[in-house]
């Protein structure tokens, strides 16, 4: 059941959505959400769907992970990892902004490694290992897809979100210098996904090392081929696009690509993380700029400002002023729905020929939907 606190959809006031069962709705205050079960089987952990807190952690890593060096390889703060796991197990509300991306990734890996039998199961892991013996890439993808399709729908959703995140990180490795190639991703997450490659004794045997290398090769193959229509079912790709706020596009050879929604017909690939800019200092338009029907689309989040294609000079807003085609500026919320008051945004008169908005670094943390006229 959903309860919506705040104004109606026509209002610009912040809206908070709470999820609870019919019995919990009788309480005047809802302070708990679905518990995340560690150390149980996949069927029990995903009895309904991906737990909400785990899903939010995945989306946060999907959004900010491509910009972090050694993500999925560098461990998070262990005290914070234990604290976050404790909070998730008890179904308490948590502000994920208080935890780093590395901590979130470590908690996700811990959850996967604690699943009894792993997310695939011992038999499916052996099938995936044998898929590497198939020389034809298309037939190999089809064999992997059959294994993925045999899993429950929540497991499929978790896997497509995981491997989609891995692909984003590897695509940004050269641009952002994160050093996380597909091979590095495979070595970092293979033990969490494939439990048969984890040795039981205190000393690893040669067979354990071979299974570990094979598991990392499977992860590398799936990451490199993510987007092909015969690797994941189309429904999984549609879920990935919908849950991450991206659009799904079919390219040549039935290869799917994922983009943020287009603005004025110009799409920006999600594999290019260059849109994440530092915090904005000023957004302004020249007084002599001719107004037209096209609005200035600006996406604000905790990482900064993404300039849209409707701006003449989409430079970094922390060092320059952007001339716009039109005067209206529309603010759009980021993925996690943070909100703040537009009253915090004041006018800047530092330049007489400019009429603009001044945004402090503190205001960049939280945003809401709204519009403002110059």
Cα-to-chain-centroid distance, residue 146 = 26
- 56 and 202: one domain? yes
- 17 and 49: one domain? no
- 189 and 328: one domain? no
pLDDT tens digit sequence for 69-120: 999 999 999 999 999 999 999 999 889 999 999 999 999 999 999 999 999 9
User: Is the distance from CB of 80 to CB of 110 less than 8 angstroms?
Assistant: no
Q: Which domain holds residue 9?
A: 1-31
- 58 and 192: one domain? yes
- 196 and 110: one domain? yes
Of 6 and 104, more confident: 104
Provide, rounded to the nearest whole percent, the portion of the chain with pLDDT above 70. 57
Domain annotation covers residue 117: yes
pLDDT tens digit sequence for 26-43: 444 455 688 999 999 999
Residue 160, pLDDT > 90, answer yes
- 20 and 40: one domain? no
- 350 and 322: one domain? yes
- 79 and 166: one domain? yes
- 212 and 87: one domain? yes
- 292 and 146: one domain? no
Domain annotation covers residue 213: yes
3-class secondary structure per residue, the chain: CEEEEECCCCCCCCEEEEECCCCHHHCCCCCECCCCCCCCEHHHHCCCCCCHHHHHHHHHHHHHHHHCCCCCCCCCCHHHHHHHHHHHHCCECCCHHHCCHHHHHHHHHHHHHHCECCCCCHHHHHHHHHHCCCCCHHHHHHHHHHHHHCCCHHHHHHHHHHHHHHHHHHHCHHHHCCCCCHHHHHHHHHHHHCHHHCCCCCCCCHHHHHHHHHHHHHHHHHHHCCCECCCCCHHHHHHHHHHCCCEEEEEHHHEEEEECCCECCECCECCCHHHCCCCCCEEEEECCCCCCCCCEEEEEECCEEEECCCECCCCCCCCCCCCECCCCEEEECCCCCCCCCHHHCEEECCCCCEEEEECCCCHHHCCCCEEECC
- Domain end, chosen from 229, 259, 289, is at 259
CA distance 25 to 261: 36
Domain annotation covers residue 24: yes
Of 360 and 88, more confident: 88
Residue 2 has what pLDDT?
A: 38
Residue 354, pLDDT > 50, answer no
Domain annotation covers residue 265: no
Residue 269, pLDDT > 90, answer no
pLDDT tens digit sequence for 233-245: 999 999 999 999 8
CA distance 291 to 337: 30
The pTM assigned to this predicted structure is 0.63
Please compute the mean of the pLDDT values over residues 13-30 and round it to a whole number: 44
- Least confident among 34-48, 197-211, 357-371: 357-371
Q: How many domains, the chain? A: 3
Residue 260 has what pLDDT?
A: 65
Of 223 and 322, more confident: 223
- 183 and 48: one domain? yes
- 181 and 305: one domain? no
Domain annotation covers residue 251: yes
Residue 262 has what pLDDT?
A: 57
Domain annotation covers residue 269: no
User: Is the distance from CB of 185 to CB of 166 less than 8 angstroms?
Assistant: yes
On average, the pLDDT of the chain sits at: 70
Residue 325, pLDDT > 80, answer no
């Amino acid at each position: 059941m959903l309860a919506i606190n705040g104004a109606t959809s026509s209002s610009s006031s912040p809206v908070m959505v709470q999820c609870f069962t019919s019995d919990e709705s009788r309480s005047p205050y809802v302070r708990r959400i679905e518990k995340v079960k560690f150390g149980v089987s996949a069927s029990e952990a995903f009895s309904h769907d991906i737990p909400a807190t785990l899903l939010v952690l995945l989306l946060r890593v999907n959004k900010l992970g491509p910009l972090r060096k050694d993500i999925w390889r560098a461990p998070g703060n262990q005290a914070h990892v234990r604290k976050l796991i404790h909070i998730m197990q008890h179904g308490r509300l948590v502000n994920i902004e208080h935890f780093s991306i590395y901590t979130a990734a470590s908690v996700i890996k811990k959850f996967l490694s604690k699943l009894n039998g792993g997310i695939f199961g011992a038999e499916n892991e052996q099938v995936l290992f044998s898929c590497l013996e198939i020389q034809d890439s298309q037939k190999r993808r089809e064999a992997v897809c059959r294994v993925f399709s045999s899993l429950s729908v929540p497991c499929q959703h978790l896997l497509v979100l995981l491997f989609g995140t891995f692909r984003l990180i590897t695509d940004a490795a050269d641009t952002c210098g994160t050093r996380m190639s597909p091979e590095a991703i495979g070595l970092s997450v293979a033990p969490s996904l494939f439990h048969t490659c984890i040795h039981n004794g205190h000393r690893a045997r040669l067979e354990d090392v071979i299974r570990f290398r094979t598991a990392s090769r499977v992860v590398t193959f799936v990451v490199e081929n993510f987007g092909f229509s015969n690797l994941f079912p189309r429904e999984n790709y549609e879920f990935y696009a919908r849950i991450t706020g991206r659009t799904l596009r079919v390219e040549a050879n039935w290869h799917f690509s994922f983009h943020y929604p287009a603005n004025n017909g110009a799409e920006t690939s999600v594999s290019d993380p260059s849109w994440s800019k530092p915090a904005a200092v000023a957004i302004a338009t020249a007084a002599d700029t001719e107004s037209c029907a096209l609005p200035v689309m600006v996406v604000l989040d905790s990482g900064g400002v993404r300039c849209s294609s409707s701006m003449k000079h989409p430079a970094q807003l922390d060092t320059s002023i952007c001339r716009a085609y039109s005067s209206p500026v529309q603010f759009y919320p980021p993925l996690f729905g943070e909100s703040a008051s537009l009253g915090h945004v004041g006018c800047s008169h530092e330049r007489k020929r400019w009429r603009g908005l001044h945004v402090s670094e503190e205001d960049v943390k939280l945003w809401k939907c709204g519009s403002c006229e110059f």
